[in-house]
Structure formats: C-alpha cells, structure tokens
Amino acid sequence: DVKVTQSSRYLVKRTGEKVFLECVQDMDHENMFWYRQDPGLGLRLIYFSYDVKMKEKGDIPEGYSVSREKKERFSLILESASTNQTSMYLCASSPGLAGLNEQFFGPGTRLTVL
Amino acid sequence: QKEVEQNSGPLSVPEGAIASLNCTYSDRVSQSFFWYRQYSGKSPELIMSIYSNGDKEDGRFTAQLNKASQYVSLLIRDSQPSDSATYLCAVLNTGGFKTIFGAGTRLFVKA
C-alpha cells in the first residue's frame, strides 16, 4: 500500500514565521507535488519535483519554496508566513511520467496563520 | 475561463439512482483525464482514469470522454449514501507534468 505521510495534520503559526511542511512517501515514486486546497478554488499546484534536487514551479509558487534532498522526502517552506497562506496543504506522489499515473495524496496539513 | 470546470453542486440523488457528474476542459490537446473522490476532511483518491474517447467502466462507475466536445463525465450507478463526497475532475496538461484539478462537485446520496 502506497503511503504518503505529512508531518502535521494541524498547524497554527504567526505572521512572519518560517514554516516547514514535510512530506514522505514510501513507494519510491519519482514525482512529488505540493498543492493547496481552498473552498471554491480546488487544488492548486504550488511546486512539483520529478527527481532528487529537481523542482519546478506550479501555478502559485509565490511565497513558497521547496526542497528535495532525498527521493522519499519533499518539503514545502513558507519563508515568511502570511494570513493569505491559511489553507489546506496536500502533498502527493506518483510513479513514472507525472500525470499519466495516479497521484497518491497524503492526509493534508491544515495551516492557520494568525 | 477556468482550465477545468465543474458544477459545484450540491448534486442530490436518491439511493439507487444514477448520479451524473460533468466536467469540461479548455486544453484541446489534453490526453489524460482522471476522477478523484474526496470525502469531507480527507484527501483525494483516484477512482477512474480515461485516456481515449468513449466509455470506461469499473464496477458501478463509468467514465465518459468526448475529446471533440472537451467533455468528461462520471456516472455512478446504484448510488449509495457512502458515495456522498466531492468528486474532482483532473486533466493532464499538454506539458505532461501538471495535472489541473477542477474545484469539484459535491454529491449527496439520500437514503
């Protein structure tokens, strides 16, 4: 069974804090993704990675950065958290060519920035 | 125009009925299409993928694709209360790396 885990289910941070969201997958998938999900807007891609140390911007990368030092781990960093980054953050992974195969999602992290 | 559009619903159907969920997309050359189900408070899970025109059946689920009309649909036969969830339509963009998700349709199946 593919398992994607995220470091926290709920997180509360203050404006200006640096925030780290961790994602780990145990199926040796090449591709990993970070999305945020907001009511009425659906899933929006922040960043993705198709290999270790490789990263590509998604649709809404501003205010975020990522790190992939090991194949199984993909981190999302909010350099200086702002209230408009309050959201549900979902990590996903997939094998092979990105998008042709099923994406497996983690349980999500609900981040609140005060 | 959004890249992937779905009616937000809610769509309400009685138990045992057919639920029909629809999705349109703007990228004419998209090749891969997916339906994900997301229960409240949970993360999405894939239920169907379809790559060529026509119908694809898997149990109670049928995905339909019409590339000429840029239209994808999901039919759920013999709907059950456990099918109550948000259904996300997803389309792989022409670049091949990004999957674009619709905002989802909320389905309620009344017992």
More confident residue, B93 or A85: A85
Q: Produce one character per residue of B83-94: b if its CB has 16 or more CB atoms within 10 Å, e if not.
A: bbbbbbbbbbbe
Check: CB of residue B97 under 8 Å from CB of residue A99.
Answer: yes
Looking from the CA of A48 toward its CB, the CA atoms found within 13 Å total: 23
- Interface contact flag, B46 A103, Cβ < 8 Å: yes
- For residue B7, the chain A residue with the least C-alpha distance is A40
Tokens for A30, please give them: 């090449």
- Chain B CB contacts of A106 under 8 Å are 43
Q: How many helices (H) and strands (E) does chain A have?
A: 0, 11
Q: B43, B86, B100: which to substitute to probe chain A, counting the most A Cβ within 10 Å?
A: B43
Q: Which residues of B touch A (CB under 8 A)?
A: 4, 8, 32, 34, 42-46, 49, 88, 92-93, 96-99, 101-104
Which pLDDT belongs to residue B17?
Answer: 97
- Interface contact flag, A98 B88, Cβ < 8 Å: no
Among A22-31, A90-99, B94-103, name the most confident range: A22-31
- For residue B98, the chain A residue with the least C-alpha distance is A99
Q: Which helix (H) or strand (E) holds A1?
A: none
- Interface contact flag, B34 A102, Cβ < 8 Å: yes
A22, with CB counted inside 10 A (0-12, 13-18, 19+), is: middle
More confident residue, A96 or B91: B91
Which pLDDT belongs to residue B49?
Answer: 92
How many interchain CB pairs under 8 A, A with B?
A: 53
Among A40, A50, A102, the residue with its CB nearest the CB of B46 is: A102
In 3D, which of B19, B2, B18 has the Cα closest to residue B10? B19
Q: A48, A87, A94, A100: which to substitute to probe chain B, counting the most B Cβ within 10 Å?
A: A100
User: Is the pLDDT score of A16 beyond 90?
Assistant: yes
pLDDT tens-digit map of B14-55: 999 999 999 999 988 888 899 999 999 899 999 999 999 999
- Average pLDDT for B66-76: 96
- Chain A CB contacts of B45 under 8 Å are 105
User: CA geometry: angle at A14 spanning A9 and A20, to 5°?
Assistant: 50
Which pLDDT belongs to residue A99?
Answer: 52
- Chain A CB contacts of B37 under 8 Å are none
Mean pLDDT score of chain B:
92
- Average pLDDT for B57-63: 97
Among B4, B49, B104, the residue with its CB nearest the CB of A102 is: B49
